[in-house]
Structure 1
Amino acid sequence: MSTLMALSRAIDTLLERLGRIGSLALLGLIGVVIFDVVTRRFMNIGSTQLQEGEWHLHTVLIMLYLGLAYVKNVHVRIDLVRERLSERKQAWIELLGCLLLLMPFCIVVGYHATHFAWTSYIRHEVSQSVDGLPYRFAIKAMLPLGIYLLALAGISRIIVSLNTILSSAGSDTTANAGAR
């Protein structure tokens, strides 16, 4: 199990590094939005490229941070029941959620998102706006990347959940034997 836990830590490290890179997009996004607002409001200059740049940076930020958010447990979660359960039962819920919901979701969406990005690349898709940004496939490729990073995060959480279940299984049987 120690090899699998090392794999989990390696995945977490990769996701953290990519999340930090993605967070740099936030700085760019803030700069582009401020520049866009100021030039539109005070200079009556509008730019389609700036607006498209905003959503491109936003996409990079979200997709590179998605897996890290799951690993760090900062994603939206409804914990009405889960928080009242033992660590082992929480691990079971996490394991089943990953296996039955998260991984199938990532497989289906990842497959279709890859096809979506590949089609865009093959067609040399550009912005529909005359003065928009080129290379639309590059931003569309962020969607499957984000989904695959989420799947990696799911694999990491599966490993951690299995470790919790297996390590607490021995302590449960020891505690039950002592109670008899």
Structure 2
Amino acid sequence: MESLSKAFNRLLHGLIAACLSLMAVFVFANVILRYFFNSGLTWAEEASRYLFIWLIFLGAIIAYKENAHLGVDTLVQKLSVKGRKVLFVVNNLLILITMCLVAEGTWKLTLITMNQNSPSMGLPLAFVYVSGLIASVSMVAISLNNLYRLITGKIDENDLVMITDTEDKEKIEQTVGGSTQGDRKL
């Protein structure tokens, strides 16, 4: 299971790099063509927009998997381990329900737009909406995995805080030299 997760993570990072690279090439080429030749690629702006949408949804999967989304952990840090577990379950259940709703909506939009084509590229618009479907289904799987790890006791106490410590907190800890409240045993 762990190797499958790592392979999926590498795939996501590779797809994000490809999206970003293609976006940069398309936009740069379009700027050069418009500036020097008074013409441009009609499809480049549309392709860049669609790649950006894919980049956002793929990045959201990685951010959720790595607990890198914005969050406030002030209350969570003050809770006992049992309180953190309860909050962890509630948080994952809310995300699970929300992502199921998003998956249902994006599935419907994907089906509706299957026969509609984009103006300049002629690409089915379902290509855009399936990115949301993939992201929501992936986040459902991550939430289920989080809950499974909690139930089976395979989750670390530090993973109960669903945000990653920032670099600023690490710098403060290095400067002060002491432990923060989150580092103490509860």
- Range into which the TM-score falls when normalised by the shorter chain: 0.7 to 0.9
SS of aligned partner of 2:43: helix
Is 1:114 paired with 2:114? no
Residues 46 and 156 of structure 1, relative CA distance in 2, 3 Å threshold: same
Asked if structure 1 preserves the Cα contact closer than 8 Å seen for 2:54 and 2:131, the reply is yes
Is 1:158 paired with 2:147? yes
The residue that corresponds to 1:145 in the other structure is: 134
Return the offset for 1:72: 0.8
Calculate the aligned-residue CA RMSD, in Å.
2.6
**Residues paired across the two proteins, number:** 156
Q: Distance in 2 between matches of 1:166 and 1:67?
A: 19
- 1:86-131 CA-partner distances (Å, limit 9, x unpaired): 55543432221111x101101111101101001111xx1112x3x3
The residue that corresponds to 2:60 in the other structure is: 66
Segments of 4+ in structure 1 off by > 6 A? 165-168
Asked if structure 1 preserves the Cα contact closer than 8 Å seen for 2:149 and 2:155, the reply is no
Q: Report which of the two has the higher share of helix.
A: 1
Q: Distance in 2 between matches of 1:38 and 1:88?
A: 59
Q: Distance in 1 between matches of 2:82 and 2:153?
A: 6
Q: Which structure is richer in relative contact order (CA contacts within 8 A, separation 6 or more)?
A: 1
Show the 5 A alignment for 1:16-165. 16-23=9-16, 24-86=18-80, 88-99=82-93, 101-121=94-114, 124-127=115-118, 129=119, 131-164=120-153
State the one-letter code of the partner of 2:64. Answer: Y
The TM-score with structure 1 as length reference comes to 0.73
The TM-score with structure 2 as length reference comes to 0.71
Residues 90 and 10 of structure 1, relative CA distance in 2, 3 Å threshold: farther
SS of aligned partner of 1:81: helix
Identity %: 17
Q: Distance in 2 between matches of 1:21 and 1:150?
A: 18
